Structure 1
Amino acid sequence: MTQNIVDPASKTPVTLLGLGAMGTALARAWLAAGHPLTVWNRTPARAEPLAARGTGVAATAAEAVAANRLLVVCLLDDASVDEALDGIDLAGKDLVNLTTSTPGRARARAEWARDRGARYLDGGIMAVPPMIGTPAAGPYVFYSGSRELFEEHRDTLAVPAGTTYVGADAGFAALHDVALLSAMYGMFAGVAHAFALVRKESVAPADLAPLLTSWIGAMAGSAARTAEQLESGDYTQGVVSNLAMQVAGTSTLLRTAEEQGVSAELLTPYLALMERRLAEGGGAEDLTGVIDLLRR
């Protein structure tokens, strides 16, 4: 039997700072793919399982940074990144920052890295740790910043999760990340309200769940129409149920919540925006006009 042996010499060496749940998942994926790996974590004990599998463990962040050109950072927050990299020579390094941040802070970090002689790529991880290293689970990472860095290390970065480059503006990865997460929490709010409505009835949550999944999936298709309307500026394009009709039906939602003894606080902010847009003359529009009310 022929055994496939991964040659570490053919794989890009990686330095990883941060071994929280996500960092550890990233480390395991690169290690499994045969990449020489050097890690550092503020709490050294977290590196012990990786060390047992052949990972190099640096005593300090500076030692870890010096080990390899490609430096991936996955820490708690921006302050942690500042602290870990304070005073460390980054000249000639390729810095990939997967620490969750904001677009503005990502842009500032890119400038900070350039001032220190490093190429910079910001990342927004669209996955939870168990998805990392499992392509079938669909994990991916938004990347923005140095296109050259991304292209050079694309294969290495694609080992833990798929890669989606969204532009040279270093803030775009965080922007896309937060946009999708914001939509997710809006969905969670609707799901929570739906379950609350049936909670005291003889409706099994397990019976409602597939109905919610199917309905939300069907409604998610409206995002494409919203995008077309925003790009054209015509919010009446392709309207199925106009704003006036939808506002007329919101009283039923609120009355049902009251009858069921459920707070409508997850719904009322959005319903109020719908009513405001209607009052401004948007009755023939889709719900797209609400977006303009959110812009300050």
Structure 2
Amino acid sequence: MILPVRRWSEGGRQVWQRAEELGFHAAYTYDHLSWRSFRDGPWFGAIPTLTAAATATSRLRLGTLVTSPNFRHPVTLAKELISLDDISGGRITLGIGAGGSGFDATALLSGDEEAWTPRERADRFGEFVSLLDRLLTEDAVTHEGRHYSAREVRNIPGCVQRPRLPFAVAATGPRGLRLAARYGQAWVTTGDPKIYETGTPAESVAAIGRQIDRLGEACAEAGRDAAELDKILLTGFTPDPKRPLSSVDAFVDFAGEHARLGIDEIVLHWPIPDSVFAADLAVFEKIATDGLAQLGG
């Protein structure tokens, strides 16, 4: 996870290229207008950043983790994604979620508008994902929905990846898990936010296991095998969040216990000094080069 906090000419390019050199399978970035403790510092747009990263790398998969309806519209997002998939040669994964209640949720509201309720957020998310799926797979789309419209929208030639670029759907609730089961090629979790501050690592592992079980149930209802979906854990939001980056052995233990649950992909934040994601860069790089080997491939 490479946060878009560096000017491209002042280390931004080098970080993405170094991620590829280290052998990472994929590199993602947040898709926000600003985020928490980074709000008053540099923060660049996700799509332009990924476009630049696509031209600076050749193998690395690239993507958002995650984008949301907070400030996106399916029609314009689809056009950008098709372009990005073309520029990257088919290396894009779209991480997508319902969005939170932070800065993105209110940045576009006028003075008399109120932030979306959780129900409205879920409603919008469902319509957003289904319309985006159509926009990325059909040459021409017309849609009149409750929240989004598309009138004779053309998206030719479509994605390089067929039938479209993969969706990694971030979800833990019933409605979101049903979306993941229907539209996702991957599923994303950050763990259980209810136990982030007060829970234990063991409780977190158990909670993620229950999430995977519920994903399996949603897939069964949709007529899909849950094994068809990659299962992605974005670290940094479980109890003892710095543990995976404290040493290679700590990472191997952390990754191994989550692999046994069924997690396929562990996402680590590239260290940012003097921030919530501060970590030893030398240890981080050694995890990339030695950690996977210790896990057996």
Query: Given the two structures, how large is their TM-score scaled by the length of structure 1?
Result: 0.28
- Between the two structures, name the one with larger relative contact order (CA 8 Å, sep ≥ 6): 2
The structure with the largest helix share of the pair is 1
Bigger radius of gyration, 1 or 2? 1
When normalised by structure 2's length, the TM-score is 0.28
